[in-house]
Amino acid sequence: MTEFERVATVSELTQAGRKSVIVDDVPVLLVRVGEEFFAVEDVCSHDGQPLTDGLVVDGMITCPRHGARFDLKTGHHLCMPATRPIASYPVQVRDDAIYVGPPGAVPPPVADKAPGAVPAIPTDLPVVSAASATSGDAVPTPEPGADDELRLIDALKQVVDPELMINIIDLGLVYSINRDAKKIYVEMTLTSPACPAGPQIVQQSKMALERLRDVDEAEIKLVMSPPWTPDRMTDEAKDMLGIF
Ligand code: FES
C-alpha cells in the first residue's frame, strides 16, 4: 500500500461498530469508537486469531482467544500472552468515506472549506471529560485504561445468562464497552435473536454498571451483527458446557 485507500463509509459503522476489510492483501479491522476511527491488523500477534470479535474497551481491543490486549491507536501489545504489537494504520475520513493508509503515513491535506471539504481528522483517543463539577459530587471519573476496563468487565461478569448459567463476558455476548465521563456505552448481543432472557440480561447489565460509584448511567444497546456463535465463548465457558 502506498497511498490511502477507501475502505468503507461512515454510515456502515454504528457508533461502536467495526468492519473487516482487506487492504493490500492484509486483513485490517476498522473500529469506530464514537466519532473516531481506528484501523489495526486483524491478526493477533500471539497466535494468529482474528481480532474481529474482540471486546473493545477504552481504546483497546482484546483478543477473543487468549485475552491479549492491544492499543487500537498504536497497535501496541498491552498484556500477555502477546509479546509483539500489531500493525496500526492511519485513518482519514472524508465526508462519508473512510480511507486507510500505510502504517506511519500522514493523511493527505484536504482543501479548507471547498465544496466537499474533508472534516478534521481525529487523531487522539476519546477524551474523558472532567468529573462533574456538581456540588457534592466527590467521585472522580477514572482515567480510561486497563484498570477501568477490568472494573467494568468485572461488573458485567456479575450478569449471568439464566439459561446457560454462565456470565455474559465469558459467553462472549459483550462486543464493546466505552466510557464517556460517567456514562458507559455497551454494545452486546444475545445467543439468539429470540432469546427470552434478553430483556432481563439487558436490565441486569445496566444495573450492574450503574452500581459502580463512578458510573451515572449505562446505555446498553443490543446488536445482532455480528451474530453470536459458540466460538465467542472463553475456553472455560466451553468447558462448562462440554464444548470442545
Ligand atoms: S491468539 Fe490472541 S491471545 Fe492468543
Centroid of ligand 1 to alpha carbon of 41 (angstroms): 13
Q: Are residues 150 and 207 in the same domain?
A: yes
Whether residue 199 has a cis bond before it, omega within 30° of 0:
no
In a domain, 140, yes or no: no
66 Cα nearest atom in ligand 1? 3
CATH number, domain of 153, equals 3.30.300.130
pLDDT at 176: 87
Specify the residue with its C-alpha closest to ligand 1, atom 1.
Answer: 47
Based on C-alpha coordinates, what's the Rg of the chain? 19
Range of the domain at 29: 5-100
- Domain end marker among 62, 79, 100: 100
d(CA 73, CA 29): 12
Number of separate domains in the chain: 2
Q: How far is CA 44 from the centre of its chain?
A: 15
Residues with CB under 6 A from ligand 1: 44, 46-47, 49, 63, 65-68, 81-82
Q: Are residues 77 and 151 in the same domain?
A: no
Q: Are residues 88 and 160 in the same domain?
A: no
In a domain, 53, yes or no: yes
Centroid of ligand 1 to alpha carbon of 61 (angstroms): 12
pTM across the whole model: 0.60
What are the pLDDT tens digits along the chain (244 aa)? 678 999 999 988 876 688 999 988 899 999 998 889 999 999 999 989 999 988 888 888 999 888 889 999 999 998 888 889 999 999 999 888 999 998 888 888 776 544 434 344 333 333 333 233 333 445 666 766 667 888 899 999 999 998 889 999 999 999 888 888 899 999 999 998 888 888 899 999 999 999 998 999 999 999 888 888 888 888 888 888 887 6
In a domain, 35, yes or no: yes
67 Cα nearest atom in ligand 1? 3
CATH number, domain of 45, equals 2.102.10.10
Q: Are residues 92 and 158 in the same domain?
A: no
- Domain end marker among 100, 132, 166: 100
Q: Are residues 156 and 228 in the same domain?
A: yes
- Domain end marker among 77, 100, 123: 100
Centroid of ligand 1 to alpha carbon of 25 (angstroms): 21
Map residue 203 onto helix, strand or coil: helix
**Closest CA relative to residue 45, chosen from 86, 4, 76:** 86
In a domain, 66, yes or no: yes
Centroid of ligand 1 to alpha carbon of 67 (angstroms): 6
Q: Largest alpha-carbon pair distance within the chain?
A: 61
Centroid of ligand 1 to alpha carbon of 78 (angstroms): 12
48 Cα nearest atom in ligand 1? 1
In a domain, 138, yes or no: no
Q: Are residues 153 and 95 in the same domain?
A: no
Centroid of ligand 1 to alpha carbon of 80 (angstroms): 9
